[in-house]
Amino acid sequence: MTLYYVLGITFVVFALIVTALGLTRDDFPPTPRAGRTVIIAGAVIAVVTFAVLVSSSHVEHPREEAAAEAAEKKEEAAGEQGGGGEAAKRAPQAGEKIAVVEKEYSIELPRTTFKAGDLTFDVRNEGKVPHDLAVEDGGNESKTPLIDGGGQESLVVDLKPGKYTLYCTVPGHEDLGMKKEVTVD
């Protein structure tokens, strides 16, 4: 493809030079033989350019083709995962959904008692500074990514009956009031 461009540009430049010479100089071409040489040279460049264009036309859009191929492979890969992939995508939606609002410096919940099992905390940060929502379950801390002001993230946990504390892990925020005792039964 690059070769085609180089040849094409060469042909255009050649044609412009010959035209300029022909228009501005009375003695161009200086001899009939030189004139024939110019015509043959022009024809050769044109033919080679056309030949390269034809031979390279099957890879005329290499970038677009590569992108289409990549998309196809991605689709195939997704297809191979089959139902499993779909189930994994749905998993975060499973169980009870609880809308949580965080700001400086509080965590608001619609209620503080939940049924044991899958729980999805949909956390909206209505504050100005980033917050997250975490819960400690048997020594393991599960938490959302840090949520910028105005942002939203979900925390999906599978909790057994017991008492838990929901809190923000940003240093100092828990002590400033970003914690909430909840009961799972």
With binding defined as CB under 5 A, does residue 143 bind Cu ion?
Answer: no
Nearer to Cu ion, 96 or 181 (CB): 181
Other Cβ atoms less than 10 A from the Cβ of 43: the count is: 10
With binding defined as CB under 5 A, does residue 146 bind Cu ion?
Answer: no
Evaluate whether 119 touches 93 at the Cβ level (below 8 Å): no
Nearer to Cu ion, 29 or 149 (CB): 149
With binding defined as CB under 5 A, does residue 184 bind Cu ion?
Answer: no
Q: Which residues contact 129 (CB under 8 A, 6 or more apart)?
A: 104, 149, 170
Footprint of Cu ion on 152-181 (CB under 5 A): 168, 170, 173, 178
Nearer to Cu ion, 73 or 128 (CB): 128
Q: Using the Cα atoms of residue 125, residue 126, residue 131 and residue 136 in order, give the sign of their dihedral.
A: negative
Instruction: Give CA–CA dist 15/51, Å, rounded.
Output: 18
With binding defined as CB under 5 A, does residue 116 bind Cu ion?
Answer: no
Binding site for Cu ion (CB under 5 A): 131, 168, 170, 173, 178
